Structure 1
Amino acid sequence: MGRLNASLILPSVVNGGRRYLSNSHSSSSVYSFAPHIDALSKKPMFVSRKGEKYDCFDSVGDAWIVFNKMVDKYPKPPIVEFNKLLAAVVRMKHYAVVVSMCSRMELVGVSHDVYSLSILINCFCQLGGVGFGYSVLGKMLKLGVEPNIVTFSTLINGLCKQRKISEAVCLFDEMVKKGYQPHLIVYNTLLNGLCKIGSIDKAVRFLRMMEGRGFTPNIVAYNTVIDCLCKLGLIKEALHLFSELKVKGI
């Protein structure tokens, strides 16, 4: 992966990271959280081995069996194989387990890449630890691993879940300025966040901005804004927006 020039480090990321890291959450200490986070995993870890295909795990115990075999191998499997396993555990929603696995990978000398670190950021965000997600981002920049659109989208989603909408919008704006092309899902995530906090004026402006930037809002985007307008009693505005759906053939 290419190195990210220091001048391209997003101001909102750096500033947000400083805020989050002020309580000793430095990028070098991010994995110190791993031993304690397992308690947040609410599903039991039953072991019932079925196979070693990453999409055929009966339980997270199966994943641990395969993972332990992988880390004990010499030479170690390529990072892409670990990423497949981590993604399978994420699909089972065992986010805390992924954090522990990533910590173990680092201890045995497996070099992370942008995908494994983005998976780790997602898990921290799912567990409500956006601050630790920023710490991982800082680690990526330190290692010269260039974040991708998934990395930033994951952080934006995490911020929205914690109702830190202004910070999410700031990160989105800086991401676009630096040339990253956000996916429609990112737009919809921000729209939903703005509507949840009742910022309907900003939500409507954001919807128009999507159109201005060449993105065609889908039915999910319109439904989100129309629903918010109705809940706020702005029925006339909701009907006007609804009529646009017919005109645009959505």
Structure 2
Amino acid sequence: MLDALCKCCLVEEAEVMFKRVKSKIKPNSDTYNILFFGWCRVRNPTRGMCVLEDMIKMGHTPENFTYNTAIDTFCKAGMLTEAAELLEFMKTKGSTMSSPTAKTYAIMMVALVQNDRMNDCFKILADMIDSGCLPDVSTYKELIEGMCSCGKIEAAYKFLQEMGRTGYPPDIVTYNCFLKVLCDNKDSDEALKLYKKMIDVGCMPSVQTYNILILMFFRIGDPEGAFETWNEMDRRGCPRDTDTYCVMIEGLFGCSNTRDAMYLLEQVINRGMKLPYKKFDTFLMQLSAVGDLQAIHRLSEHMRKFYNPAMARRFALNQKRKSMSLRGK
């Protein structure tokens, strides 16, 4: 009942009911968490903190997740001072279960960046490292996404530099996370700038780097950029994987470059590459729209090497029928 009221944002009513029955039914940590998250849901962190304090007084230890939610709520409500105080409380009075994690620090740092407090952000970063809580991939990802989402691209670059200066240089996974955010935002100029920076600092792009770039170029309607990236892989000696072919073929079909798409599909078949079944499905439908029965047959035969023959044959026959129907036969 308490949980239902809180989920409906009727937290005042939930608290009234809680006070009425707590003398008869002893509340546990789950009870306090429900109320706490209820106040967070309605963006009232002050009342939420009162619940948290009562919870501690009653001998219950809030878990790290509870504290992280509180800090996130404070930050979203613009109460950065209260968030910082709670973070300090976690460090000084929290138990092992509730000591700050990389996630906790990331929430705080993103909020500081969004409020143009870069110096404070770097202080938190230094404090994080000094406490022995080392940043992981998810930390980088959250920080970079948070910075980019509010247009703080330069702040993200500065963050990468600071990490290198403090002895924890970003690796290829971190750069790819940053690149993906830029590419998802279709910011090709910044994406290429980051790509060049990776090379300048000696962090060689991976096949995932190129796959992300190729996908971006097709999304922004620049197939020439996709081809240039494809050729760049040869120049850099980076072997293409299945995803590279899938992204390229799908992109070529999408921009009506059927000839090159079918050429790459032929390479896939000749090299004996196993594509995900959904991609086989997609490419067969594209070939069906083109009306190339021979290509449909070749691709379906290739599918049979990796998937249930009956399923592959049934799907290929369906595509042939559709193709003939489209051509009016």
AA aligned opposite 2:159: M
Match of 1:137 in 2: 195
Match of 2:249 in 1: 191
Q: Which residue of 187, 204, 207 maps to 1:149?
A: 207
By how many angstroms is 1:222 displaced?
1.9
Match of 1:64 in 2: 110
Q: Which residue of 146, 153, 176 maps to 1:99?
A: 153
CA distance in 2, matches of 1:217, 1:83: 28
Match of 1:227 in 2: 285
Identity %: 13
By how many angstroms is 1:126 displaced?
1.0
* Cα pair 1:54 1:85 within 8 Å, conserved: yes
TM-score by length of 1: 0.62
By how many angstroms is 1:196 displaced?
0.5
Q: How many residues are aligned here? A: 201
CA distance in 2, matches of 1:131, 1:116: 19
Match of 1:248 in 2: 305
Structure showing greater relative contact order (alpha-carbon pairs closer than 8 Å, 6 or more residues apart): 1
By how many angstroms is 1:218 displaced?
2.9
* Cα pair 1:198 1:228 within 8 Å, conserved: no
Which one is further off, 218-227 or 152-161? 218-227
By how many angstroms is 1:235 displaced?
6.1
Q: Deviations over 1:151-177 (max 9, x none)?
A: 222211211211222321332233145
AA aligned opposite 1:142: D
Q: Does 1:46 align with 2:84?
A: no
* Cα pair 2:110 2:147 within 8 Å, conserved: no
Q: Which structure: larger Rg?
A: 2
Match of 1:120 in 2: 178
Unaligned runs of 5+ in 2: 1-74, 87-97, 308-329
By how many angstroms is 1:215 displaced?
2.4
Q: Does 1:163 align with 2:221?
A: yes
In terms of fraction of residues, the more helix-rich structure is 2
Q: Deviations over 1:60-110 (max 9, x none)?
A: 9666259887621436639971642232467x8984247365144157x32
**RMSD value, Cα:** 3.9
Match of 2:233 in 1: 175
Unaligned runs of 5+ in 1: 1-44
CA distance in 2, matches of 1:246, 1:139: 41
AA aligned opposite 2:248: L
Decide whether aligned partners of structure 1 residues 239 and 172 sit closer, same or farther in structure 2, where only a CA change above 3 A counts: closer
TM-score by length of 2: 0.49
